Amino acid sequence: MNGLVNENLHLQLMQEFEVDYFKDKDKTIVDLITVMGSVYCVDVSVTARKTHLSIEIPVFHVEVWQGLTNRLRLLLKWVSGEDYQISFKPFNKDLIARKERQMKLSLYGPNQRIVSLFSGGLDSLTGAYYNFKNDISSDYIGFLNKREEATKQRFLADFYKKKLNPTPDIILIEKPVDKKRHYTQATRSLLYFSLAVAKAYYNQSNQVNLYENGVLTLNPNLYDRFTTKTTHPKTLFEYNNLLEDLNINVQVKHPLLFKTKGESINEMNLDFKGVIKDSFTCGAGRSDVLKVHVGQCGVCIPCLLRKISMAAYDNEQYDVYITLIMKNRILNQMYIIMNLFLMCNTFKNMCSS
């Protein structure tokens, strides 16, 4: 399938940034956002999978990206399992002229702060506490979710602004595709990283922190269930290598890689534990048309992993769940979780032997 690329895509995604089209490095950042944004749009818009997804992407530095085509394809294959046929073309010069006139000035100036990924979930909350505890000055960036999730995100954003010092910039960006046709959205993390890299670049910083952990970091494949490889060390290694090849002096790091989710939660102080109930992990509303989000369902795989992590250190009193799923489904999900932990123990034993 041929991917149709919106040549105004970076303008849509980078509304909060002041782009100087006379600076070569700014053009490199625009290219990165355009490439990863274009891939994401095709990824979530094509229903037939295991096909050759063809896409032609407009960039400033055509020759540079042509030289990186194989590296990019390998990264996309690793993350999504799909074969992307990618080519590049120059930006339309008339569009560039219009973009120069349309791009608004950013509200945020360079402040040398690192950038942390913000989802509104429990992992990113533990990351905010990590920054707080270690006196790390950080801004936050993420995608704006829908309905109840968006409400939770805004609540946590307000909490961060009141609690963290200096007061962080928190940018929530509308996803470029309103109605997805394919729901695994495996390449979303690459766009997520790239937006954070752009923010770090305009902050004049060189670091993006990703806070996400737990057994799903191992990306187990059970019962044909697909898990993204957002936190896999290979993903970060390959993505950081791509940044290096582009001469972008920013790296994505994972400070909590060797901590369990339960450990990270337990380390938080009472103020942060007090807003655990306002973080959102539940995936039931996205996958089950019969479930309307009213709090955490408590029985989908993300909720079960969350509950296990909370229970491991007797922190369940800080969370709330509303269980609406039948008993046999609960047992089935628990069976899957048990297999996840068996796989993790096997992996741990292999590493230690």
Average pLDDT for runs of 10 along the chain of length 353: 65 88 93 94 71 85 96 92 90 65 56 93 94 96 82 93 94 80 76 96 96 68 62 91 97 92 95 94 61 66 86 91 50 60 60 57
Identify the pLDDT of residue 218: 59
Identify the pLDDT of residue 212: 82
pTM of the model: 0.85
Identify the pLDDT of residue 324: 46
**CB contact burial 158-172 (16+ within 10 A = b; e otherwise):** ebbeeebeeebbbbb
Distance CA 212, CA 50 (A): 28
Identify the pLDDT of residue 313: 94
Cβ proximity of 315 and 266 under 8 Å: yes
Identify the pLDDT of residue 43: 84
Distance CA 296, CA 320 (A): 7
Tokens at 223, concatenated? 């019962």
Distance CA 166, CA 180 (A): 37
Cβ proximity of 118 and 268 under 8 Å: no
Task: List CB contacts of 229: < 8 A, sequence separation 6 or more.
Answer: 78, 79, 186, 189, 219, 235
